[in-house]
């Protein structure tokens, strides 16, 4: 059964297709939607947006409802503050739910995530507010001991430094700006805020940590926060009526680094974010921000905050070109060799990996880990074959580019020195007929359009005319190698 709405992906798929007691996934999805609606109404828009907007139901089976969130941080926050409430609400909306499990979704989860903690409520009448949630020991220990002091800043990763950051064409400007800001001391901040944006895995977090280390090493006060932790700080401070103190502390630092600001949401939180930004910038403190999109596209933020974010230096980090991928790969391999001296990856394998993994730095890192695992498990050197198997799933199946009939017509026309309107016209001179037939043939093999549709797009011709052209060119290609090469070339030009 299909489930409509945003829950379709989570509930309709996999083992959770049906509740174990025969409920349809639609019923469960409906119940879950009611749960979310109630949480929103009971907790208010801000709290809901901060903690529950990205909470999704994966499936329900054996009385266990499995929920997922995108980060470990959200998981532990929800577990320690809201699990009991979510469970009570869910139980009152759907029968047979005994416990909740919160997991971290997505490929970016750490390689070996701990088992999702299961929380069972103490026995009690359904839907009545129960005793405190039974939080597993490790989570309890983790709570309240923010690694970077009371502000709850996230720790800096020792590996993500300027030294380990490889500079190439696509990130040179971002890197230069980061270094200048990090090495700047005295006087008002340079570019404020400094705003990086790029798709996933292109080095934003690496650069931010690099700035963090450099500022810290220079003895200045820096705090690195993710949007989640920023929101956590505020919600927590608002709850304990210490928001003012929180803000004061934030303003007492030299450099505020804020990662993944696209996740900041909720009206009062973004207002606080705006105030903090203004206060820091006005006081000449450096603010550095990263997001997955330019400031103008941060729809969740209000116009004034967006324009403040856009008011400093906005730098995009581009995709990694092959040369940059090769250097990042080399530096990764060298780093690994420091701890695994026998780990050897020959130039051919390295070249293959740098060519094949085009998406981002994260996948490159994943590839190195795979190769290392392979080498240590088998004790055999990494060959091209083993590399290919090891990284197969990281290699993007290059989706064939969608080719438009219009582009085919334009390209073929220009190759044969006729105009596109000649191709669409009724003219039957040989100089026009051949390119027209080639264009029809290419439209058939490179697009998913039907023969009648292709006919329509070629000046309203009949589908039999198109079929005739396709057959004719097919036959000609088989007999004429020059034409065959010519058509291959056209195909490649259209698909690249
Ligand atoms: P983002 O925050 O943009 O999603 P990250 O900074 O987390 O990306 O980068 C993903 C991985 O790729 C990290 O392991 C990072 O060290 C690596 N990486 C990305 N760009 C570079 C680079 N220019 N030099 C070295 N490593 C890089
Ligand atoms: Mg990041």
Kindly report the CATH number assigned to the domain that includes residue 429. Answer: 1.10.1750.10
Mean pLDDT of the chain: 81
Express each pLDDT in 44-59 by its tens digit.
777 787 788 889 999 8
Which atom of ligand 1 is closest in space to residue 200's alpha carbon? 4
At which of 255, 286, 316 does a domain end?
316
pLDDT at residue number 257: 95
Domain membership flag for residue 132: no
For ligand 1, pick from 262, 335, 361, 366 the residue to mutate: most ligand atoms within 8 Å of CB.
361
pLDDT at residue number 176: 94
pLDDT at residue number 230: 83
pLDDT at residue number 23: 67
Domain membership flag for residue 428: yes
Express each pLDDT in 156-185 by its tens digit.
999 999 999 999 999 999 999 999 999 987
Q: Are residues 177 and 312 in the same domain?
A: yes
Domain membership flag for residue 150: no
| Binding site members | 201, 203-205
Residue with CA at minimum distance from ligand 1 atom 19:
203
Number of structural domains found in the chain = 4
Express each pLDDT in 112-121 by its tens digit.
333 333 444 3
At which of 295, 316, 337 does a domain end?
316
pLDDT at residue number 132: 28
Q: Are residues 258 and 362 in the same domain?
A: no
Residue 140 has pLDDT above 70, yes or no: no
Q: Are residues 27 and 113 in the same domain?
A: yes
Q: Are residues 185 and 266 in the same domain?
A: yes
Q: Are residues 114 and 55 in the same domain?
A: yes
Q: Are residues 439 and 353 in the same domain?
A: no
pLDDT at residue number 22: 57
Domain membership flag for residue 165: no
Residue 94 has pLDDT above 50, yes or no: yes
How many percent of the chain have pLDDT more than 90?
Answer: 41
pLDDT at residue number 396: 64
Express each pLDDT in 297-310 by its tens digit.
888 888 889 999 99
- CATH no. for residue 204? 3.40.50.300
Q: Which ligand has an atom closest to residue 260 CA?
A: 2
- CATH no. for residue 27? 3.30.300.180
Where is mean pLDDT largest: 102-111, 381-390, 417-426? 417-426
> Does 198 sit in the ligand 1 pocket, CB within 6 Å?
yes
> Does 387 sit in the ligand 1 pocket, CB within 6 Å?
no
Predicted confidence band of residue 268 (pLDDT cuts 50, 70, 90): confident
User: Measured in angstroms, how far is the CA atom of residue 154 from the centroid of ligand 2?
Assistant: 13
Residue 111 has pLDDT above 80, yes or no: no
Q: Are residues 355 and 272 in the same domain?
A: no
Domain membership flag for residue 429: yes
Express each pLDDT in 309-363 by its tens digit.
999 999 999 999 889 999 999 999 999 999 888 888 988 899 989 988 888 888 8
Q: Are residues 475 and 388 in the same domain?
A: no
Q: Are residues 189 and 271 in the same domain?
A: yes
pLDDT at residue number 116: 37
Q: What is the domain range of residue 372?
A: 322-396
pLDDT at residue number 409: 96
pLDDT at residue number 17: 42
User: Measured in angstroms, how far is the CA atom of residue 470 from the centroid of ligand 1?
Assistant: 48
Q: Are residues 201 and 288 in the same domain?
A: yes
Residue/partner pairs of 30-34 with CB below 8 Å, 24 or more apart = 31/90, 31/93, 31/94, 32/7, 32/57, 32/90, 32/93, 32/94, 33/5, 33/7, 34/93
> Does 366 sit in the ligand 1 pocket, CB within 6 Å?
no
Where is mean pLDDT largest: 22-31, 85-94, 398-407? 85-94
């Amino acid at each position: 059964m299909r489930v409509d709405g945003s829950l379709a992906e989570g509930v309709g798929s996999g083992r959770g297709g049906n509740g174990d007691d025969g409920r349809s996934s639609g019923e469960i999805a409906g119940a879950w939607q009611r749960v979310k609606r109630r949480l929103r109404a009971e907790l208010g828009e801000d709290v809901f947006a901060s903690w529950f907007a990205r909470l999704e139901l994966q499936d329900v089976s054996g009385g266990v409802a499995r929920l997922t969130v995108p980060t470990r941080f959200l998981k532990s926050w929800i577990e320690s503050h809201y699990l009991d409430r979510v469970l009570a609400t869910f139980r009152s909306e759907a029968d047979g739910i005994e416990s909740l499990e919160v997991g971290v979704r997505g490929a970016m989860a750490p390689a070996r995530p701990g088992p999702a903690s299961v929380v069972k409520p103490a026995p009690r009448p359904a839907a009545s507010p129960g005793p405190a949630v039974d939080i597993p020991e490790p989570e309890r220990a983790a709570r309240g001991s923010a690694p970077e002091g009371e502000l709850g800043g996230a720790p800096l990763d020792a590996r993500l430094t300027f030294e380990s950051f490889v500079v190439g064409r696509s990130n040179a400007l971002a890197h230069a700006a980061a270094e200048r800001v990090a090495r700047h001391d005295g006087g008002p901040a340079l570019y404020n805020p400094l705003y990086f944006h790029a798709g996933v895995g292109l080095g934003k977090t690496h650069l931010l940590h690099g700035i963090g280390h450099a500022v810290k090493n220079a003895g200045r006060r820096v705090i690195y926060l993710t949007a989640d932790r920023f929101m956590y700080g505020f919600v927590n401070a608002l709850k304990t009526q210490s928001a003012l103190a929180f803000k004061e502390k934030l303003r007492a630092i030299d450099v505020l680094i804020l990662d993944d600001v696209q996740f900041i949401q909720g009206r009062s939180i973004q207002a606080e974010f705006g105030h903090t930004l203004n206060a820091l910038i006005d006081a000449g403190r450096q603010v550095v921000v990263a997001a997955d999109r330019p400031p103008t596209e941060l729809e969740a933020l209000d116009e004034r905050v967006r324009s403040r974010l856009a008011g400093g230096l906005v730098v995009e980090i581009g995709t990694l070109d092959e040369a940059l991928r090769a250097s990042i790969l080399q530096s990764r391999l060298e780093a690994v060799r420091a701890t695994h001296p026998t780990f050897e990856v020959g130039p051919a394998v390295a070249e293959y990996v740098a060519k094949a993994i085009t998406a981002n730095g994260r996948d490159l890192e994943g590839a190195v880990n795979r190769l290392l695992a392979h080498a240590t498990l088998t004790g055999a050197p990494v060959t091209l074959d083993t590399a290919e198997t090891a990284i197969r799933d990281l290699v993007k199946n290059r989706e064939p580019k969608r080719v438009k009939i219009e582009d085919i017509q334009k390209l073929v026309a220009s190759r044969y020195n006729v105009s596109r309107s000649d191709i669409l016209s009724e003219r039957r001179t040989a100089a026009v007929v051949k390119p027209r037939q080639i264009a029809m043939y290419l439209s058939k093999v490179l697009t998913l359009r039907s023969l009648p549709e292709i006919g329509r797009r070629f000046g309203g011709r009949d589908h039999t005319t198109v079929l005739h052209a396709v057959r004719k060119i097919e036959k000609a290609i088989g007999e004429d190698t020059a034409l065959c090469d010519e058509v291959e070339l056209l195909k490649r030009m259209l698909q690249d």
